[in-house]
Amino acid sequence: MIPTGLDRIDLRGIRARGNHGVFDHERRDGQEFVVDVAVGLDLTGAGENDALEATVDYGVLSQQIHDVIVGEPVDLVESLALRMVDLCLSHPPVQWASVTVHKPEAPITVTFQDVSVTIERSKQ
């Protein structure tokens, strides 16, 4: 839950193919990951002054998230989500971030729609 007093920017459904996973075939063949990001920050200055520097450029942030998905492989979706939440918090105006990583092609033997991990962190 976003802390009181913060505004929010959401990016939903960032898709890319990554080679994350514990199994050899996941690393070798890769699979699609879908990421939802929410960042909490004070948007008063951006709104009042129409100033990009007072907010987070969501075009830049979405590319950075994409680059993490296609970047250095990790075993766990939890590790991938933590990398992304730390990336979000590296943007100075961001005080809180939530990242959900969906792994719709997870190697599960039962019928399922989605597997996801959500990590939320704040600077406070």
Output the pLDDT for position 8: 97
Instruction: Report d(CA 81, CA 53) in Å as an integer.
Output: 26
Residue 14: pLDDT band (50, 70, 90) is: very high
Whether residue 1 has pLDDT greater than 80 = no
- Domain annotation covers residue 51: yes
How many structural domains compose the chain? 1
Percent of the chain surpassing pLDDT 90: 93
Instruction: Report d(CA 3, CA 117) in Å as an integer.
Output: 20
Nearest to 36 by CA among 113, 117, 108: 117
The CATH number of the domain holding residue 38 is: 3.30.1130.10
Residue 103 among the catalytic residues: yes
- Domain annotation covers residue 86: yes
- Domain annotation covers residue 109: yes
- Domain annotation covers residue 117: yes
Q: How many residues does the chain have?
A: 124
The boundaries of the domain holding residue 11 are: 7-122
- Domain annotation covers residue 15: yes
Please give the structure tokens belonging to residue 99. 């990242």
- Domain annotation covers residue 2: no
Output the pLDDT for position 75: 96
Instruction: Report d(CA 18, CA 69) in Å as an integer.
Output: 5
Of 40, 64, 103, 119, which one is the catalytic site residue?
103
The reported pTM is 0.93
